[in-house]
A and B are shown apart, each in its own frame.
Chain A
């Protein structure tokens, strides 16, 4: 059982708040919840909507199908009427408009008028949610708790009054499976999970320039900064943001910066600076469609090729693209450890879909969190003087925190000798390039191969290949197709660069595969091709700024490969 409620209206009508309240109530009723947001780059007006999808089973994808459409204006009805199935119903403010035409069931209710009657015009949404709870046969107890935690006094009373009134206006028309009473689950967005990962991973400095859709991470860390001694600074531009983070990292603290593609473009020289100075740094790139300003509030996987090549010259880097919200948390911590251990830039490649979607996660496990600072040292015990870029077997030099009596630390963006001083001679230059690049071999060994799901690859008709947060929609589509008799495997890449080894190479050389990417050119596909996989049989792509959904994946694969079973 999957159920999807869409709340739509114009910016400023509070779709986010309504969606969040509903999602929290469902979470506490024991459901797995997945929410996604579709919003325009404006503060008032336009058309925005939020989806709240729930099920007793885990899920990581949105859907094309809507079961209840809460239309806060007539435009919402016009835009979304075709998403409602035969069983679907539109809920609308009967004093505002009346949905015309045949099709889905309709339920009018007094929202604005009733809210004003109760004495708070902001509670229209809560009235509607009371009605929706009744329609779904859900208890209001959890919802009331959520409201009690959020409001108090007269405002709380009015909210509760509205909720009860809305509830009384409806009748149970859907029969939904009961939630499983999950204990300790949380509903977290990708951005908050990255922020939480940064916090738990020991970040003490975060500098960023606000840029959608990465700003959620900046907000989250700013809200926790004082309590956890994290210095969060809004920089004057992204160039300052990355250079500040590098300054803090040179000082010895764990540092991070975050942006979207446009800001990342400004940071590029700084990425190279992290490379040549061997300064650990984690950079979040929450992708949105480009180039230039592109579609600010929408999603795309268009920056993969860009981030693995960004900056002039050659130097090692790592790129990780978390599969979902839970992974966003753990991969951020891993990114911080990798940055310290290999003394290089690590890029977390997220996107608007992952950043803004909330997902039910089981409790994050403190036991799984380890902080590994690699060769960072507090005191230099070997022969003096300390050499920041000392040649070593593995290409990684001990990194001294500046401030030890008798020793100094020199980092340099010019090519340098072991002490960090400028050089131009060919021998030292060659040795330094080799020192930096040889780390790539060790890193490659510890990159995790793509996650594989499905039958033994040899028995699969096709192998699906995805990366990053496309994992959820693709996996949902794959499972649905399995029920229709398809035999499909699925490789989902999370470690992108350096590309991990593994069985996938052989499998993709021998089996027909379907590449699924949220971009035009198939950027992971190009990378795989360079590794000798050949081309995919089918390429399912999307570059309209919207995320894939599970049902869309199912439909499009069927269109491409025909019926099975």
Chain B
């Protein structure tokens, strides 16, 4: 769209970009919102899962008789289908590794479930579960990715399925991926300077507020109904159909409000299948809610070891880059193959490189399985690359901001939204604007040099920039499935229903879609309702992940709204005798109801409600449309984070007293919710930089925090910067391929925060930290020159 057209459209936006109250807010502030863990059904039983105390063991026998005598319904590996599955259904089947069953005979991590019970109360279920006797044969275990690849390492799998074919596992390598562009050897030859460094990121826990839950009701026809903590109702239904051999028409998965996700429920999590198996056996509704400690043993973020090498010219032009990564995926391969592809894409799309090589290895260990967490490899790649940019800038004596502006991938250039098979051309870009505008806001030019800083408390300023894909759409099909379906209905009173299987994880995705529909339909936001959704009353939507909610989900909603509007205008044209193409709709300033009118003709006006009601009475039908829509693009939303740190050099404590967060999300649909995404991303990013990790006892294979918040700490309100010292701004951009110019935001919000914090620490102390999280222990070790794991010798 040309500049003129874009400005005209922006001028005319009524609802998109306005600050509105979220539609689910009332239920949430009154405590009446119903999450899956709050659901209750008559005669419902409560479930508990018997979990392995060993990191690697074979179940020799299970005796459930004592539990059954207590009245509990019990399931063991004998009672579940012998189907190997992958809980994540986003990739095409031939790229999907399947290594788990509902209840396994061989456990590969502490906390893996091998049996489950259902009883009248949770306490009774817990007692019955503890009454089950399991005879275990302990197997050797390995907790380190490097050791796992050694010749003498315990073999965690002999084989898994890739698609439907057997895939042998050697040296515990779950998958390997190499992607190259040009000839990296030639590129490094051309370079004036080569900088090589190692980086490492932590095994962070998602810590979504609501532990995972599932409630399953068996139906008379053998089917099931399910409420659960999910990010995709349709993928869950398809997977349950496959595991339990049920026709999809007999599986109804409801969308439930979710208490935070951050990626933790992209896949159909383990409690879902266990709950379904129990309900099918009990012939009664069964509810399974994980304890926090079970939840922490159920999933974590993919950590990464990264070896990064860039070759640059004297003027700062990057000529070659190579990134090798080793990812410790834990006990199951949930989505390591696409992760590695994405990491290559994040690497390629941050800075222009004529020659590039990427090698990623994903390795099994006997730990909690890793899955996608906000950013999906991008926080790791951005941390390494953005640290590297500062190192290069320092070596070349170039301002770090200028180095970034010189090399960033921007307008008109190719972008890999989801690995090498999902590519698009960047058509909106606010990178330079954010860097130039943000720098003075944080006081970039006054940040000083570390060698000039003295005293106990030292401050430093750092920058990190990043992006994330908006969904995984592309012109051609790739390894990743991406489309959404939406239905828009014009009701007989002029209100509008929007129905979609899209999820809101809290960020306001469904509100954004309702706003886009309101904008397109010409009615007020208040008159657009978000319908409850289940698999039986919505079309397919892949999953609310990959920062695709607004761009892809919204894209389908707008398309459905356009189609419904066309039907409506056709009805209207019959009533007021105006060619439908000449009609417009705008909300009545008082009632908010849509008014259909011909510009300049006072008598050619009729409300949307009148048209819909008349069409009903005359039997013309309903103005309704369903659209299944794939975006042919996946534009990057760019984010830039500036942070200031203050280090107490005596205690090693680090605070972030100030920050500037900027986003280029195209047209901003929900300004205050968008700001909330950036503020939340900042907080989580600081947590990844300075606080959060899960460590394992090398003997027992248990997490040292035991899965408890007593020792897995999260930042509190008191740890964060004052509200006025966290500035958020939006770049002035318009994405031509997006609904009303919008792109995504979600994941981009935290990708660059850790790099910004580490760059600020370098500016404060003159010390470069390359392993995160950096704790006060490590800060002191670095300052005093103590030996400390995770701190490189100076």
A and B physically associate: no
A residues near B (Cβ < 8 Å) are none
